Structure 1
C-alpha cells in the first residue's frame, strides 16, 4: 500500500439513509459521516450499497448536498455518477464538483452488452467531459460485464482517470491487478471484495471499499493500521471479524435483500432507519428480529 496518496485508505460505500417519505435523512447522514470520520474513513455516497440505481436525480442531489454539509474539513468525499445515460453522468459529475465532492466513480452502463472498444470510448468520453477525477468501477454482479484488466490499464494513463474500484470476485484478477498497479503513483487500485481485504492491502492495494464499514467501521481502521505497521497477523484477525459481520447481513440473501438487512442492523445501532428505495423492500419483523439477535450475540473484540 502506497503512503501519502490523496486517494487511498478505507473508503466506505455509504448506505443512503431515507425517511419514510423516501427523502434523504439529513440527521442520519451526519451520524454516518461522524462514525466514518472517527475511524479515519472516507465516505463514498451513491454507490451500489447506496442503492444509486433506484434513486431519482432529486434524491441524489439531496444526498450530495447533505454530504457536503457534513463533510469534515481536509477529508475526501467520493460519489457515484453511474447512469445508463452518458449526459446524465456528465451533468451529475458537474453538480458534484460544485458541492464538495473530490472524485467520482462510475460503472459501465448496464443495459447493452458492450465491446471493449465501446467500453474504452465510454470511459474516455466521460473522463474528458467531467471536472472531477474519475474512478472506473468494475462490478459484474450488477452490470453483467467484466471490464478487462488490459483495458483498464490502457485507460489508467488518461490524465483524468485516477483509479479503479474492483468488486469482481476473482483471486486471479486480484493478483494481476496488484501486479499491474501496486507500484503506480499516478493510478490506484481499490478492492470492493471484503473477504480479500487484508490480502489486498498487504499485496499493495491503495485501499478498501467495504460495505460492512457502514456497520463496523472500526474493523477496517484497525486492519489498515495493522498493515501499515507490518502486523499481518493482526490484519488477518481483523479479516476474520470482517467476514463474521459481513455474513451477518449478506449470507443467504440477494444483494438487494442484504442492503435492507444492513440498514436494519444500523437502525438497531441508532444510525438510520431501515427504509429502502423500491423496488427493494423490507423482509419483515421476524427477519429483522433474527438479525438483531444475531448481532447482539456477536462479540466485538476490535481494538481490544
Structure 2
C-alpha cells in the first residue's frame, strides 16, 4: 500500500514561452489553474518545462505565478539541478520560502560522475536546501543513471521525501519497489508515463505524465480508477495515453515530443507553440499533422 503523502498524478507543467524567448506568465497561470482544478499536482521547472532553458531571472516569477494559480488546491513541486550546486541550493531555498511543497533535484550532466560523487552531490543539496527534497533520475537528460544503491544511501536522510525515476531499464522499477516500497514517508514516483499503470499496480505512489498538460480530465479519471482498483479502466486509458504520446513525439526526440505537446496546447488555446532555445517548434505543416492525429485519437482540442 502507498505509504507517502506525495502520491497521485503530478503533472510536469510546460513552460509557456513567447516568440521572443520569454516565459509567458499569463499562460502559465492558466495552465496551472486548469491542472489544479482537476486535482492534479504540479511539477514546475522539470524536463517537460524546459527547465535548463529558462532564464535564471524568470524562474522565480514562474514558480511564484504557479503557486498563486494553484492557490493551495494541490501540491507544487519545483525542479532544481544547475551545473553550479550553489545556485541550485540558493534556488531551492527560495522556492521553498515561496511555499513550494518540495524541490526536485536531478544530477548535473556536464561531468562524468561516480556513485560516490552522486551521493556527495545529493547530500550537499539536501543539507544546503534544508527542506523537502525529491531525488530525480532521468538518464536521457543528465546522461547518468543513479544506481539504486545510491538511492538507498540517501533515502534515510531527514529531508528526502522520495524518488522520481524516469529510467526505462527492464526490471528497474520492480527492483526499486522491492527495495524501497516499504519505507514510510518515501514516495516512489514513475517518471515514464507509459509505465504508469503497471508501476501503480505494482505499488508505486504516483506518476508524472507530461500528457497531463494536454489531457487533465483524462488523467484525473485515470487516477480515480487507480484509487478504486479498477485496473481494466486504468489500462484502457493508458492505451489512449500511449497513442497520444506517440502522435506528439512522432518517433523522434524528447525535444520534438515537447514541441508536439505545445502544439496541442496551442490548439486548445492554452499557450503558443513557441519553444525555448535550443529547442524549436514544429513547422506549421507538422503542427497541422499533429493536431489531426490528436483529433483522430479523440483529444479535445476545442
Deviation at 1:156, TM superposition (A): 0.4
1:68-217 → structure 2 map (5 Å cutoff): 68-217=67-216
- Gaps of at least 5 residues in structure 2 are none
What corresponds to 2:240 in structure 1? 241
Greater alpha carbon shift after TM alignment, 213-222 vs 198-207: 213-222
1:201 touches 1:224 (CA, 8 Å); kept in 2? no
What corresponds to 1:267 in structure 2? 266
What corresponds to 2:26 in structure 1? 27
Deviation at 1:74, TM superposition (A): 4.4
Question: After TM superposition, where is structure 1 displaced by more than 3 Å over at least 4 residues in a row?
Answer: none
Correspondence 1:39 to 2:43: no
Deviation at 1:300, TM superposition (A): 5.2
Distance 1:144 1:241 in 2: 30
Greater alpha carbon shift after TM alignment, 97-106 vs 108-117: 97-106
Give the match's secondary structure for 1:178: helix
TM-score (norm 2): 0.95
TM-score (norm 1): 0.95
1:211-226 → structure 2 map (5 Å cutoff): 211-226=210-225
Give the match's secondary structure for 1:98: helix
- Gaps of at least 5 residues in structure 1 are none
Distance 2:272 2:118 in 1: 37
Give the match's secondary structure for 2:281: coil
Give the match's secondary structure for 2:10: strand
Distance 1:256 1:245 in 2: 16
Distance 2:180 2:250 in 1: 32
Aligned residues: 300
Distance 2:230 2:64 in 1: 39
